[in-house]
Amino acid sequence: MAKKPRRTVAKARVGASKVARKVSERELHFHCQQWLEKSGIWGRHLIFHIPNERRGGIGAIMHFKRMGVRPGVADYLMFTNRSVAIELKDDKNKQRKGQEEFQRNWERLGHLYFVVRTLEEFQGIVTALTLF
């Protein structure tokens, strides 16, 4: 007796909807930088990332401290007719103590400070600031 051919059945995803995947803080950094470059804002305006993510051992930390790296400085600084600091956070993380202190000092001087959790928020703030 011949063997019956095996039938494969494709499983349909019933009721499947697009669910937004959570984006890590690191991915948010990459997305924001890519958008800045693609939009042309990166080349037309003074905006830059502050690499103060203190990675490494105690030797590296001491080195950066001697070089004047401050804890808590926002991820992006932007200078138009206003001085703006933008801190990027994913949807679950909060500002650290040093970041809150930097924000207080920055705002005390009359500058703008934003905590941004999505690419869309970042795009809206930066685009609005380039209009003035």
Predicted TM-score (pTM) of this structure: 0.76
CATH of the domain at 52: 3.40.1350.10
The reply to whether 70 falls in a domain is yes
Q: Work out the average pLDDT over 14-18.
A: 44
Q: With 0-12 CB in 10 A as exposed, 13-18 as middle and 19+ as buried, what is 41?
A: middle
The reply to whether 1 falls in a domain is no
Per-residue pLDDT at 67: 80
Average pLDDT, the chain: 83
Domain with 117 in it: 25-130
Task: Put residue 110 in one of left, alpha, beta given phi > 0 → left and psi -120 to 50 → alpha.
Answer: left
Greatest Cα pair distance, the chain, in angstroms, is 88
CA dihedral 31, 37, 43, 46 (to 10 degrees): 0
Give how far the C-alpha of residue 84 lies from the chain's centroid of Cα atoms, to the nearest Å: 15
* pLDDT band (50, 70, 90) for residue 88: very high
The reply to whether 103 falls in a domain is yes
Number of independent structural domains in the chain: 1
